[in-house]
Structure 1
């Protein structure tokens, strides 16, 4: 109800919100000048069709310790009064399906499907002076170190832009599991954006997969006629907002298409893909370890319906989940229970339906952790974190400090080698990468290569080229591909 406002006043009052939305999707100079792509109208294939059509990013938000998960070292059980520098792994190692390759206890199910994928034990996160979740999450998802004068697009937005939707009804880029009402909300929003690429390539958010259907249907109590009228009013609002005068033709058209896509989904039969109640109870129960597990189930359903890029996260919330600044051992026991079954089940289910061959799955985290060493051992700037040299309380037993010099990633399907291990970290502290280091531009270009996206892809923003990886220098790690 508008109360005493007339229609013109209402539009004036709400125009600021529209201008803010414009700023979030691209910097003002880019809006005024527009942006143009290099080879926008060509298929951007690297000589041939790529080996993957869909990407699922399984994001272990908060800093997953490599020595406690996929790269275990010497196990040392807890004893009151023990020296902290003795502890490299707080879990025993268990064998995987690959000869001689072990995981940390609690990840047996994922270990059983490693013959379908590649284990990377040598990811090295950037040295940006301060090792902060916000900076490293931004860097991982966009390939650009913050701050930037241009809003760098999320990798999912690049993929949505370059390849377009597989199914015109299903959003090309879907983000599952992350709320923006928790700590560091603005930092999280900073990289969950399509940047200068346009609104239509931004993420479709589903914070809670158990309520996925609510995300794609009109609010309760709103009939179809009322919803249609509201959609018309929203279009009119945009046409009389600052977007009309200050937005580029490209940006206005992108916003219009994003609205059309959302409207089309709300009225489509494909919306049922978001309804987890349609799953048989036994299947639902196999995934249901909580919000993350159900996110994997929803990712499977959306892959089958033609989503292009899906991110499923354990959710970043400070001092929760993988953000183990204390109680590292007990926290990881809980996290492994959340992820082990659903991830392995997702791989098996996609394999069974024939989707795994064309679906690239990546499991990653912003950085690793160590008990005694903060960050990069030889860095000039070190974070000062209180950590006792002698452990007098079980809450100090575990990997608590941010560590960037050795991290683990998993990759499955979509042209990735099967049963393959790449890279190595040292067996003694600091357990840093000693063979075949991999950095984020290499990971991104490997993903783009698998999808058939040209490594030279670029757009002109603020009169300078903006590439998928900084300066267009990223190279795919060809050893990871079949």
Structure 2
């Protein structure tokens, strides 16, 4: 069987339904694939020296507006009758500990740690046709534009597969804060929250509620001792005897069994205490306790201390909630900043105090930015999806950045060898606030992340005799100016 990896070979989906159908087909093809093979010895690619051992991605799901967070522009307070075209930022800028660097009001705690990291203001993202969160999140997390004819691995799965676990008991890829069931677009979210063709062994250990994480690392009530041992053995037998087994390659079946083995080792280990937030001193717990995301940051710190390799903590993507501000943009952004400001600052401070920050790459990012007028970027034909259309402010729900903007996005990075107190790239002061200096593509951003982790952007696997690279087509170039 030959699998084509060219996204150009598949028509670009124009609806969420078509997108899901394409992803389902890719998942079926992946399930039938044999073991992906790293490039042959004669083609082996030299790996860069690792600057970090652990990566923590703090994912602002839904589209965090740069002008309301890390790239503030001209501020206009709310006033009925004010023309929308006059508004870029709905929060004033505040000073940070870095001379001349300002970020948005509401991020006062983060303003005090900006001297520990690099602020990248010039990430440029593609429109991808209709701007769907599902497509952009898939693209950001895998590096590939959907649909692909095999399921592309998440960045965390690449890191887990290529670097292996830091602690053999600890899952190398842990996903915190995102529900995969019972919320809007759950199937789309599942599409990129996967190890793809690498198999279940390298997939995410999902913890939607950080305060309940300890329940995931202990046997169900009443299932202790020999009874649990028997169920564990029976499950392994069922994988092999599944009626679908004939459609799965031996590699994929073995990967499922290895995933179960890893989970069993964790349940039997003292390292499972890292998942128990009740063991954190109350004073330290409260520093993070701003909501589910804040508690997720605390859990990420505990897991990083215990040897997790890649951890994602998300504000969670649910349509029209959290950062998905199609109306009430200002009010929602104010609430979201209250949820993220203190925990992110505390995480960086704690990692630094524990001597871990240098070897931990922490990334704050989102699938795109927002603008009150422009959908996509100047000249885009993307469909306008705002639910708060108005030429002038009539009520508070009109005030804020409602549309998807791909012309510029901000990414914040700490540790992992990046410079401290450094700003890279610039955007225009007036609309359209596109990148005016040092644009960075998502492919090059991924190359930068992988380089920090000691992985060459040209690393590839062979899938049915065709190459699949860690950055799209192996073309990613790390932004070396970001490194100290």
TM-score (norm 2): 0.92
1:70-117: per-residue Cα shift (whole Å, max 9, x none)?
000011011111100111111111001111110110101111111110
**Following the alignment from structure 2 to structure 1, what is the Cα–Cα distance between the partners of residues 42 and 117?**
34
1:466 aligned partner:
468
2:88 aligned partner:
88
Q: 1:261 to 1:401 in 2, by over 3 A?
A: same
SS at match of 2:440: coil
2:227 aligned partner:
226
**Following the alignment from structure 1 to structure 2, what is the Cα–Cα distance between the partners of residues 295 and 271?**
16
2:290 aligned partner:
289
**Following the alignment from structure 1 to structure 2, what is the Cα–Cα distance between the partners of residues 241 and 413?**
45
1:76 aligned partner:
76
Any gaps of 5 or more consecutive residues in structure 2?
1-23
Q: Does 1:128 pair with 2:114? A: no
Q: 1:43 to 1:453 in 2, by over 3 A?
A: farther
Q: 1:61 to 1:381 in 2, by over 3 A?
A: closer
SS at match of 1:421: strand
Task: Check conservation: 2:96, 2:103, Cα contact below 8 A.
Answer: yes
1:35 aligned partner:
36
1:14 aligned partner:
none
1:251 aligned partner:
252
Superposition deviation, residue 383 in structure 1: 2.5
Q: 1:29 to 1:411 in 2, by over 3 A?
A: closer
Task: Check conservation: 1:177, 1:312, Cα contact below 8 A.
Answer: yes
**Following the alignment from structure 2 to structure 1, what is the Cα–Cα distance between the partners of residues 44 and 217?**
30
**Following the alignment from structure 1 to structure 2, what is the Cα–Cα distance between the partners of residues 127 and 68?**
21
**Following the alignment from structure 1 to structure 2, what is the Cα–Cα distance between the partners of residues 186 and 30?**
17
1:406-432: per-residue Cα shift (whole Å, max 9, x none)?
111100001111111000111111111
1:389 aligned partner:
391
1:359-379: per-residue Cα shift (whole Å, max 9, x none)?
000000000011111111122
Task: Check conservation: 1:160, 1:308, Cα contact below 8 A.
Answer: yes
**Following the alignment from structure 1 to structure 2, what is the Cα–Cα distance between the partners of residues 247 and 293?**
39
The count of aligned residue pairs is 459
Superposition deviation, residue 249 in structure 1: 3.2
After superposing on structure 2, the runs of 4+ consecutive aligned residues of structure 1 that deviate more than 6 Å are 40-44
Superposition deviation, residue 162 in structure 1: 0.1
Map residues 343-358 of structure 1 onto 2, 5 A cutoff: 343-358=344-359
Task: Check conservation: 2:124, 2:441, Cα contact below 8 A.
Answer: yes
**Following the alignment from structure 2 to structure 1, what is the Cα–Cα distance between the partners of residues 205 and 25?**
15
1:430 aligned partner:
432
1:46-81: per-residue Cα shift (whole Å, max 9, x none)?
35x311000000000010000000000011011111
Task: Check conservation: 1:25, 1:199, Cα contact below 8 A.
Answer: no
**Following the alignment from structure 1 to structure 2, what is the Cα–Cα distance between the partners of residues 469 and 151?**
15
1:417 aligned partner:
419
Q: Does 1:207 pair with 2:208? A: yes
Q: Does 1:479 pair with 2:477? A: no
2:106 aligned partner:
106
Q: 1:88 to 1:217 in 2, by over 3 A?
A: same
Q: Does 1:263 pair with 2:261? A: no
Superposition deviation, residue 244 in structure 1: 5.0
Task: Check conservation: 2:31, 2:247, Cα contact below 8 A.
Answer: no
Any gaps of 5 or more consecutive residues in structure 1?
1-22
1:439 aligned partner:
441
2:303 aligned partner:
302
